[in-house]
Structure 1
Amino acid sequence: MRIIFFYILIIFNIGFATSQQTNYLHKIDSIQENIFNSKSKDSSLIAKAHYNIGELYRYNFLTDSAYFHYHRAEKIYKSLNERYRLAITLYGIAVIQKDEKDFTGSEVTSIEAISLLESLDETNDVRKYKAFIYNNLGIVFKELELFEESISYHIKALDLKEKLVGNYTSTINNSKNNLANAYKNSKEFDLALKWFDDILANKELIKERPDFYVLVLDNYAHTQYQLKRYEELPRLYLQALKISDSLNEGGYNSIAINQHLAEYYNDNNKKDSALYYAYKAKDISENYHNDDLLKSLMLLSKIEEGDKAAQHLKAYVKLSDSLQKVERQTRNKFARIRFETDQIEQENIQIARERLWLLIISIVLIISSFLIYVIITQRNKNKELQFIQRQQKANEEIYNLMLSQNESIEEARTIEKQRISQELHDGVLGRLFGTRLSLDSLNMDPSPDAVKTRAQYIDELKTIEQDIRKVSHELNTDFVSGSGFIDIIKTLIETQAKVYNLEYNLDYADAINWDGVSNKKKIHIYRLLQESLHNIYKHANATHIKISFKLKNGVICLIIEDDGSGFDVNKAKSGIGLKNMNARIEEINGKIEITSEKEIGTQVSIEVPIP
């Protein structure tokens, strides 16, 4: 998405005025690094972005940067075999080579681009770029002074442009002007004038393209000058200069007009006017430091005399050598850019391969590590599960043994109670009954004291009889249901307290129906209490513990308190014992809460639902 967004920005900015393009150039370097270092796999979009950056740099005369991006686009389009996009990219490179006076290189690149377009179906766009490339070749051959070839290519370009669908008047006029100049350079002045007249016949041209009108008018006037037709001179020159100055005071387009005026006035022995326009041309061309400055210096060396002429000629030679050196350096720079770009691409390919291998190795290591971790974790879980199963089985066996032992004890108690009850009923109660009968027989004694005494004894015996019957009945009744589990708990606490040298208080609610509690929960409660007592002994250094069983809303609440040293619950490490306690609580859907204060003690609260 970043590349698409950037691509739209490039297209959008190319449509702006030159000043806005220039402002945008300051942002390109910071943006393009992020764009082309991205991991996008859409090479075509990357190539388009390179191409449009190259276009933008070329329009702003930053040829080095333009060439670099064109070349990057060229490499990608070649790899994708996108012949049309490759051809228009080569055209951009050819224009840069022509502008930098690498005419041979521009010719080769242009021919390569034409060959690619010739292999495509001739659409309007293909025809348009073929015309542009032919136009570029016409200019190249003009600079090489091969005027016949230049005229031939300009005619081809013009013929193609006139067949284009759409409004291409401006580019058609450009080709006509280039063709007229080619005729002028080949000394075919009448043909040149014919094409200049054809352009100037458009009366709207001065309004639509005043800068181009000035250029054509100056070329037309200079052709008249070369034919030595002075009837309209210097009026045409001055008209062109006036329009140029009104468009851009002292601008680039006025250099050639001032040079032509200087030539005209010099030929007509008007030295002052000739020098005025020659120096004006020189002053303006010094801002550009190119061939126009060379022409101005050569012109001044011809108009001036003596030392001044020699100075201008010397400056001309020096500047000519400097420009030739710059041209060679530029051509070498282009070759170096191609070499460095290819070298960078090879390095990038190597880096990409290394990164790919590194990624593969990393993925393999990560997957291997993950599998090893899963295997080890699974083994540990299996061992833990087996341990829990063995522990659960052991717990059940222990509990069953405890229940069996308790049943034996209770059975013995029941037998003993029955024996005592029978003894009381059959022995003591029988004898007491006999005594009462004897006393009843003595009741025949009529004396008041005897009757009173006997009655007292009989009442007392009746009381004893009722008490014995009550004890006998209670001894023969079954013990309270669930008291067996509490006895097991009592035994555990008594044993542990004795071994650990602890004092204890046990408080339990009779309302808890232990018969309604599952064996699984009883085992876990037993083990939780056992583990808590062990932890108190091991860590708390306590002397007294309080244990209570309460029933709240169908939930058994076990609270274990000690007066030990206490600890920081938040910083304490979770050992195996505490983990086992948490695991047991989770298994019976209970809750556990541990609170502790240093030097005060610890409280463990356990809640277990009965159902």
Structure 2
Amino acid sequence: MKFTLLFLFFSICILNAQQSENLNKIDSIHKYISSIKSSDSLSIAHQHYQIGELYRYALINDSAYYYYQKAKKVFKQFDNRFETSVTLYRLAGMQAYDKDYTGSEVSAFESIALLEDLPQTNEIRKFKAYNYNLLGIIFDELELFEDSIKYYDLALSIKMGLEGDFERSIGATLNNLVKVYRRSGQFQLAKDTYNQIISNKSLVNSHPDIYVLALGNYGKTLYESGDLEQLPGIYLKALKITDSINDSYNSIILHQHLAEYYNDNNLTDSAKYYAYKAKEISKDYANDDLLKSLMLLSKIEEGEKATKFLEQYVTLSDSLQKAERAIRNKFARIRFETQQIEQENIRIARERMWLIIISVILLVAALLLYVIISQRAKNKELEFNRQQQEANEEIYNLMLAQNDKIEEARALEKKRISEELHDGVLGRLFGTRLSLDSLNLNPSVEAIKTRGQYIDELKTIEEDIRKVSHELNTDFVSGSGFVDIIETLVETQTNAYGLEYDLSHDDDIHWDGVSNKYKIHVYRMLQEALHNIYKHAEATKVDVSFKLKNDVICLIIKDDGSGFDVNKAKSGIGLKNMNSRIGEVEGNLHIESEKEKGTTVTIEIPTKIEV
């Protein structure tokens, strides 16, 4: 892309150098750009705009207009408002140059309307000023001087507030104001505006071409207002500057002004000199200037020469009018063809729109069908999970019920044994003790001593049996059933997996206050963790602990296995199930692992959530 821009810039420099080479260069550039294969319509539009620029520099306006129109069509289609507005500004310039003032006015206003809808950046405001300046030129040519002044003032007010170097552009608009004030007979305003230009020394020194135009318009203002004191000095000063900067085009008007001045002062030779000079220079430039030079010579010369120049003027004027009409017709034809293409594009776009609508409807229908099928599958899955949850609850309740029955059977058995010990054995022992006590009447010292030993021993046995009886009749600690289930799970799993284990639990955890749902999730997550250790860890020992920290139950499962990289590990269905269960209890799951150093799984469950 950079190469293309450099190539185009270099080509533009060549186009300005020599008119005879312009067509060849444009043709080669056109072929080069056409050879670029691109499916991007916007890229092609930018290429058309660049070709239009090249033709504009070569003063081949109809071709420039054609390519600007092609670029505008695509920019407009893609709603690229800034590019569209800039292209419209270029089109308006082409139309004004070829005296299609109505078409130029329409294009300029359309460009401004697009710019108004955009964020008012420095670049946007710059092109608004350019459009207003162009409208000032158009209305000046149409001799609608009040409108011309209004739009020049708008352009000037915007340019004054722009960031960057717009000194020359401001000077050009001020010079245009000098001209329109002069043409509308407001000579004092023309002089004041000229003084505003020359008061800017930087403008005068940096941009002598603008200074030349201002001098020419100021001199013409003096001439038309009858203030001839500074004439022809102003004209000659301006002409000298044009020679120094090789500005032959602007010297045409100065030669015409001098010829007009000298003719009015009956200095015929000088008048003829400058009139013929203007005519010769005009041949290389615009026909309008040549037309003015011919009219001037018809007034200065006499007899047959005057008639000859007048005939040339009429002939050229007729041919120019025909050419202008032809160009305006060509512009109109291009606009008409463009409108036809745009209408065709609208028809195609409408067909595409319907195709897109139908496609979208079918896509939405397919999507809805997919959503319905997916929702049904999801509902089935949720129903399955609900049934599984109910099954888990039922299993756990059965486990608790079985454990309660075992505990009840144990309690009954302990009570029976206690009653047997208390009512049977103790009763018999008590009777024996009384019998021995009655034998204590034997006065033999040895008998008394022996009986006393037996009696003391019987008392000791009695106390021991009574103590055992009371201990057997004491209830188990409430809530110990779930801990027993966990102990059974750990013992069963580790035995099956060939692992050593260490289980510890905090007695401060009140499992009776935790719902069966939460207990089931704890049971299943512990079961899944032990299963994962067996499948993946290659461990020999596992430590399981329950702790209570700030009303949070912490289940910690630590193994001495091979470990893994937590960041790179893929989540299997087991880990996903654990994450799902931890979400159900609004807890946290944290895994720490290091290769060859084992893995620690920490499960945190808040106890305040209920229950």
TM range (shorter): 0.5 to 0.7
Matches within 5 A, 1:494-513: 494-513=491-510
Q: CA deviation at 1:505?
A: 1.7
Q: CA deviation at 1:471?
A: 1.0
The 1-side partners of 2:184 and 2:299 are apart by 33
Equivalence for 1:522 = 519
Equivalence for 1:245 = 235
State the secondary structure of the residue aligned to 1:283.
helix
In the alignment, which of 460, 463, 467 is matched to residue 466 of structure 1?
Answer: 463
The 1-side partners of 2:73 and 2:449 are apart by 125
The structure with the largest alpha-carbon Rg is: 1
Name the stretch that deviates more: 396-405 or 274-283: 274-283
In the alignment, which of 582, 587, 590 is matched to residue 585 of structure 1?
Answer: 582
Aligned letter for 1:277? A
Residues 275 and 300 in structure 1, CA contact (< 8 A), matched pair in contact too: no
The 1-side partners of 2:575 and 2:97 are apart by 75
Query: Do residues 437 (structure 1) and 434 (structure 2) align?
Result: yes
Q: CA deviation at 1:35?
A: 13
Residues 596 and 603 in structure 1, CA contact (< 8 A), matched pair in contact too: yes
Task: Give CA deviations for 1:120-143 in whole Å, capped at 9, x if unaligned.
Answer: xxxxx9x999xxxxxxxxxxxxxx
Query: Do residues 388 (structure 1) and 404 (structure 2) align?
Result: no
State the secondary structure of the residue aligned to 1:252.
helix
Aligned letter for 1:578? L
Q: CA deviation at 1:594?
A: 1.7
Name the stretch that deviates more: 366-375 or 381-390: 366-375
Equivalence for 2:335 = 341
Matches within 5 A, 1:166-315: 211=220, 214-215=223-224, 242=232, 245=235, 249=239, 252=253, 255=256, 258=259, 261=262, 274-289=268-283, 290-294=290-294
Alpha carbons of 1:128 and 1:590: their partners in 2 closer, same or farther (altered >3 Å)? closer
Aligned letter for 1:537? Y
The 1-side partners of 2:329 and 2:411 are apart by 115
Residues 555 and 610 in structure 1, CA contact (< 8 A), matched pair in contact too: yes
Residues 498 and 540 in structure 2, CA contact (< 8 A), matched pair in contact too: yes
Residues 548 and 559 in structure 1, CA contact (< 8 A), matched pair in contact too: yes
Alpha carbons of 1:63 and 1:363: their partners in 2 closer, same or farther (altered >3 Å)? farther
Normalising by structure 2, report the TM-score.
Answer: 0.57
Equivalence for 1:379 = 376
Alpha carbons of 1:347 and 1:544: their partners in 2 closer, same or farther (altered >3 Å)? farther
User: What are the ranges of 5 or more consecutive residues in structure 1 without an aligned counterpart?
Assistant: 1-28, 77-91, 100-105, 111-124, 130-167, 175-207, 218-235, 266-272
Query: Do residues 421 (structure 1) and 427 (structure 2) align?
Result: no
Percent of pairs identical after alignment? Answer: 46
Aligned letter for 1:431? R
Q: CA deviation at 1:527?
A: 1.6
Residues 506 and 546 in structure 2, CA contact (< 8 A), matched pair in contact too: yes
Q: CA deviation at 1:385?
A: 2.0
Q: CA deviation at 1:368?
A: 5.0
Task: Give CA deviations for 1:219-244 in whole Å, capped at 9, x if unaligned.
Answer: xxxxxxxxxxxxxxxxx9x8896387
Alpha carbons of 1:333 and 1:366: their partners in 2 closer, same or farther (altered >3 Å)? farther
The 1-side partners of 2:453 and 2:331 are apart by 138
The 1-side partners of 2:231 and 2:449 are apart by 167
Residues 557 and 607 in structure 1, CA contact (< 8 A), matched pair in contact too: yes
Query: Do residues 456 (structure 1) and 453 (structure 2) align?
Result: yes
Alpha carbons of 1:474 and 1:352: their partners in 2 closer, same or farther (altered >3 Å)? farther
User: What are the ranges of 5 or more consecutive residues in structure 2 without an aligned counterpart?
Assistant: 1-67, 112-133, 148-179, 187-216, 240-250, 284-289
Task: Give CA deviations for 1:495-546 in whole Å, capped at 9, x if unaligned.
Answer: 2223323222221233332222222222221122122222222332323211
Normalising by structure 1, report the TM-score.
Answer: 0.57
Alpha carbons of 1:296 and 1:279: their partners in 2 closer, same or farther (altered >3 Å)? farther
Equivalence for 2:26 = none
Equivalence for 1:575 = 572
Equivalence for 2:37 = none
The 2-side partners of 1:559 and 1:302 are apart by 120
Computed over aligned residues only, the root mean square deviation of the Cα atoms, in angstroms, reads 5.2
The 2-side partners of 1:353 and 1:446 are apart by 140
The 2-side partners of 1:50 and 1:33 are apart by 6
Alpha carbons of 1:433 and 1:288: their partners in 2 closer, same or farther (altered >3 Å)? farther
